Structure 1
Amino acid sequence: MAKTVKFGFWSIVLLGINSIIGTGIFLTPQEVVLKAGSYTPLVYMIAAFFAIILAVTFASASKYVNTNGAAYAYSKAAFGDNVGFYVGITRFVAASIAWGVMATAVVKTSVNILNGPTDISTSQVTLGFIILMAILLGINLAGTYVLKLFSNISTIGKVLALVVAILAGFVIFMKTGQNHLAEVDTMVAIKMNLTTMTGAIMAAFYAFTGFESLASAASEMENPEKNLPRAIPLAIIIIAIIYIGIIGIGLMINPSAIVVSKEVVVLAAVFDNPLIKNIITYGALVSMFGINIAASFGTPRVFEAIASEGQLPRKFAAKNAKGVPLFAFIITAILAILIPMSFQYDMKGIMVISSVSRFIQFLVVPMAVVSFYHGKSKQAILQNVSKNYLTDVVIPVLAFITSLFLLLKFDWQGQFSLISDTGNSHLNFYAIGSMLTGYIVLPIILKIYNDWYIKQFESH
C-alpha cells in the first residue's frame, strides 16, 4: 500500500498563506482607503492584530483537537453535538459561498485579461465557473502530492508578485523622494469615528480571512497538534508584513490610482510601468487560482468531517483511493456555483453572506479553547497537551471580546442594502433570504433529516 503524502510544517505555512492571500488585498484596498484615508496602514495593522489573536486562538484549539473540521471539531468537542453541528453546517455553507466568491473573481479576472475591461455576460461567467470547478476537481483527484505542489507554486507566485510590487514602489519612492500619503485625505471625504473605523477594519480584515479553515483537513497533515499552532501564527505574521508593505508603498507613491481606479486589479493601477502592472495582474490571477485550490481542498472536508462523525449520512464521508471526499466535493462545488449564480455574480452581495458565519466561529472557538484549558469539554480531547495560560485563556478571551465588539459596531444595515441607479437605497432581499436559509432553515432541515436517518438506520 502506497504511503499517503501529507503536508509538512512549511507546506502548512504555505497552505496558510495560500488560504489567506486571495482576492482581498488585490481587489479591495480601494474600499478601505475610501473609508480610512491616510489611516489605511493603521487600519491594516489593527486588522492584522485582530487576525493574529484569532489565529493564535484557532492554533491553541488545534493542540487539543486534531481531527478534521476546524471550528466544527472544536465546538463539538467543547460543547457537544448540537452546538458542533450548527457551527459546522453554517461554517460549511459560508465556506462554500466564499469559494463561490473567489471562483467568480478568478473567472471575471481571466475574462478581463483576455478581452479587456468589457461587460461580462452571465453565460460567460457560468461557463468559466464550470470549467474552473472541473480543473479543481482534477487537481484534487490527482492526490495530495499534486494538490500540495499546485498550492506551493501558487503561493510562491502570489508572494513574489507582491514582493516585486513592494520593491518597485520602494525604488520609485527613493528616486522621487516624494511621499503622497498626506494627499489621500483630500481625495476622500472621510469622517473618522468609531463606526467608520470599524467598517474600515472589517473591510481590511476580509483580506486576512481564511486562516480559520486551515485546520479543516488536519488529518492530511503531519503532527497537526504540533505543527498547526506554530504554522498558523507564522503565516499571519508573514502576510501582515506583506499587506502593510504593499498598501503603505502604494499610498506613498500613487494614492490617486487606488482611489479612482476602475481596473479589476486595483493594485496594478499604482504603477505606470507595463511590466510591473502585468506582474501584479498575473500575480493576482495566480493568487485567486491558488486560493481556489485551498478552498477546494479544505471546504469539502468540513462537510466530510460532519458526516464522518455521524451527524450527516456517513456515505458523504466516503473517500476515493486518493483520499478525496468525492461526494463532499461535488456537493460543495454545486453549492459554490448555484449561490453566486442566483445573485447574478454580484460579488458584494454574496460576500456579505459568508461574514456572519465567521463571527459565529470567532465567538464559539475562543470559549471552546478556554473550556479545553480548564478541562471542561463535553467530549474527549488530546491529553498531555502543553497548556499555556496566555495563549489558551488570555488571548481567546481577548479574541471573544474583540469579535463581539466588531459584530455589534458593524454596519449590518448598510451591508444588507443596495443602492439603485437612481441613488435610492433598498433592502437586498437575496442576501437576507440566503442568510435565513443558510443559518436557520438549512440547519433545522438537516438536523431533522439526520435524526430521522439515524432512527431508520438503527431500527434495522
Structure 2
Amino acid sequence: MFTGFSLIPIAAKEMKNPGKMLPRAILTVMLATTAIFVLMQLVAMSVLGPGLAGSSLPVADIFNTILGRIGRTVIITGMMLSIIGVAIATSFNSPIELASMARERGFLPRELSRTNRYGAPVGAVLLTMLIAGGLILSGSYLFLIKLIVLSDFVQYLGTIFASLKLRNDKTLPTGFELPGGRWLTYLTCLVVAYLFTTFAFTTVLVGVGFAILGTAIYSFEQRRH
C-alpha cells in the first residue's frame, strides 16, 4: 500500500506553475512507486519461489534467505520504526481533524471541538483513543492494514466522483485535466470497483458499519443545528 503521493498537492503553493507541474509530479511519483513495487515482486518471486504464497512478511523473508537472521531483524526493526512514526503522526493529526470537522462544518458533534486551557481538543483526543483502542483489540495487525486500505479506496472513489460532478462547474477556478478526460475517470472507477471486490467479507462489513455510523451521526448533527 502506497499512499504518500496523495500528499503531493500540499506543496502546490510552492510550485512555480502548479497547473503544469503538479500532475507531472503526481504521475512521476506514482510511476516510480509502481516500478519499485513491481521490482520487489520480481525479486520476491525469484528468491522465495513457491514459499511466497505463504509468506506474511515477504521482504523480511527475502533478507532472511539472503543474509540470515540478521537481515530479517534489520527489516522488521525498520518496519516497526516506520509504523511507530506513522502512529505518532496520526495521533496528532486525527484529533485535530475531528475537531475541525466538528467546529467548521458541523459534520460531528460540537462537543468534539471543545478545548482545554492548553488549546488541546480533549473530546476529539478521547474519541480517537477509544476508536484506536477498539481496533487494537481486534488482535490482528493484517486486519487493521486491510481496513486502512479499504478506507483509502473509499476516499479515492469520493475524489473520482467529485471530479465528475465538478468538472464543468463554472464557479470553481480552472484547473488541470488529465489526458483521457472523462473516460479515464470511468476506467479508474471500474478498476477501483474491481479491487474493492477483493476484500474479505469481514473487512467490508466493518467498513460498512463505520459508514452507517458516520451517516447517522452526520444526519443527527444536521437536524440538531
Q: 1:292 aligns with which of 87, 91, 94?
A: 87
How far did 1:448 drift?
1.1
Name the counterpart of 1:240: 34
Q: 1:390 to 1:268 in 2, by over 3 A?
A: same
The number of equivalent residue pairs is 217
Verify: 1:369 aligned to 2:163, yes or no.
yes
Look up the equivalent residue of 1:403 and give its one-letter code: V
Contact 1:349 1:431 in 2 (8 A): no
Look up the equivalent residue of 2:162 and give its one-letter code: A
How far did 1:269 drift?
1.8
RMSD of the alignment, in Å?
A: 4.0
Contact 1:303 1:328 in 2 (8 A): yes
Contact 2:12 2:22 in 1 (8 A): no
Q: 1:224 to 1:313 in 2, by over 3 A?
A: farther
Name the counterpart of 1:437: 209
Q: Secondary structure at the match of 2:43?
A: helix
Look up the equivalent residue of 1:278 and give its one-letter code: T
Q: 1:244 to 1:334 in 2, by over 3 A?
A: same
Per-residue deviation, residues 164-192 of structure 1 (Å, max 9, x unmatched): xxxxxxxxxxxxxxxxxxxxxxxxxxxxx
For 2:33 and 2:91, the matched residues in 1 are separated by 21
**Which residues in structure 2 correspond to 1:149-168 (within 5 Å)?**
none
Q: TM-score, normalised by structure 2?
A: 0.70
Higher relative contact order (CA 8 A, sep 6+): 1
Q: 1:336 aligns with which of 132, 137, 143?
A: 132
How far did 1:348 drift?
4.8
Contact 1:370 1:393 in 2 (8 A): yes
Q: TM-score, normalised by structure 1?
A: 0.39
Q: 1:250 to 1:443 in 2, by over 3 A?
A: same
Contact 2:151 2:207 in 1 (8 A): no
Look up the equivalent residue of 2:105 and give its one-letter code: E
Name the counterpart of 1:249: 43
**Which residues in structure 2 correspond to 1:10-409 (within 5 Å)?**
207-209=1-3, 214=7, 218=10, 223=13, 226=18, 229=23, 231-261=25-55, 265-270=57-62, 271-274=65-68, 275-307=70-102, 308-314=104-110, 316-317=112-113, 327-341=123-137, 343=138, 345-354=139-148, 356-375=150-169, 381=172, 383=173, 385-388=174-177, 390=179, 393-407=182-196
Contact 1:316 1:327 in 2 (8 A): yes
Contact 1:265 1:284 in 2 (8 A): no
Per-residue deviation, residues 244-292 of structure 1 (Å, max 9, x unmatched): 222212222332553455xx64322223414433332222222222332
Look up the equivalent residue of 2:13 and give its one-letter code: N
Per-residue deviation, residues 133-192 of structure 1 (Å, max 9, x unmatched): xxxxxxxxxxxxxxxxxxxxxxxxxxxxxxxxxxxxxxxxxxxxxxxxxxxxxxxxxxxx
For 1:389 and 1:346, the matched residues in 2 are separated by 39
Contact 1:370 1:392 in 2 (8 A): no
Look up the equivalent residue of 1:443 and give its one-letter code: T
For 2:128 and 2:166, the matched residues in 1 are separated by 31
Q: 1:366 to 1:436 in 2, by over 3 A?
A: closer
Contact 2:108 2:217 in 1 (8 A): no
How far did 1:309 drift?
1.9
Per-residue deviation, residues 96-147 of structure 1 (Å, max 9, x unmatched): xxxxxxxxxxxxxxxxxxxxxxxxxxxxxxxxxxxxxxxxxxxxxxxxxxxx
Look up the equivalent residue of 1:316 and give its one-letter code: L
Contact 1:318 1:325 in 2 (8 A): yes
Structure 2 unaligned blocks of 5 or more? none
Q: Secondary structure at the match of 1:390?
A: coil
Q: Percent identical across equivalent pairs?
A: 20
Contact 1:318 1:326 in 2 (8 A): yes
How far did 1:394 drift?
4.2
For 1:329 and 1:229, the matched residues in 2 are separated by 35
How far did 1:374 drift?
0.9
Contact 2:107 2:221 in 1 (8 A): no
Look up the equivalent residue of 1:311 and give its one-letter code: F
How far did 1:315 drift?
5.4
Q: 1:435 to 1:247 in 2, by over 3 A?
A: closer
Q: 1:399 to 1:303 in 2, by over 3 A?
A: farther
For 2:118 and 2:110, the matched residues in 1 are separated by 18
Structure 1 unaligned blocks of 5 or more? 1-206, 417-427, 455-460
